[in-house]
Amino acid sequence: MQNKKASYEGLQSSIRSLKTPKIDVFKNQYSDKDYIVSLDMPEFSCICPKTGLPDFAVIKIDYSPDKYCVELKSFKMYTIFYRNLGIFHENVINKITDDFVNAVSPRWVKISGVFNPRGGITTSVVREYQGE
């Protein structure tokens, strides 16, 4: 029997342009202060694009708001969008970071995802953004 390599080519080629739900914000009444907001999402889920099986993760966001803060209900709806989406772990964190930065324009943000073991391997992905 011939052993063929599994191909991941093209599975995520349009992920950067993926249309996701809008993340709402509200005006930060303390924009003159430096402080950190932490969001923990212990029940994040998406779909493995290769197997079609669910992936579960804890997503953590730490950010320093500037003019705006993230509105939590809209952000929850944003994360629910991923439940039926086939996406690699690395792409999840990068896409969430891109969308979060575009909506909130924080001074700084760190977004991490710790994905439950798959085949005995736990995947952790972290991305930081430093505002301009």
Which tens digits make up the pLDDT trace of 36-83? 999 999 999 999 988 889 999 999 999 999 999 999 999 999 999 999
Which CATH number, 3.30.1130.10, 3.10.310.10, 3.30.70.1450, 3.10.20.30, labels domain 24-130?
3.30.1130.10
Percent of the chain with pLDDT over 90: 80
In three-state form (DSSP H/G/I as H, E/B as E, the rest C), the secondary structure along 97-128 is: HHHHHHHHCCCEEEEEEEEEEECCEEEEEEEE
* pLDDT score for 4: 44
Q: How does the average pLDDT of the chain come out, rounded?
A: 92
Predicted TM-score of the model (pTM) = 0.91
* pLDDT score for 25: 98
Domain locations in the chain as residue ranges: 24-130
Residues involved in catalysis:
48, 55
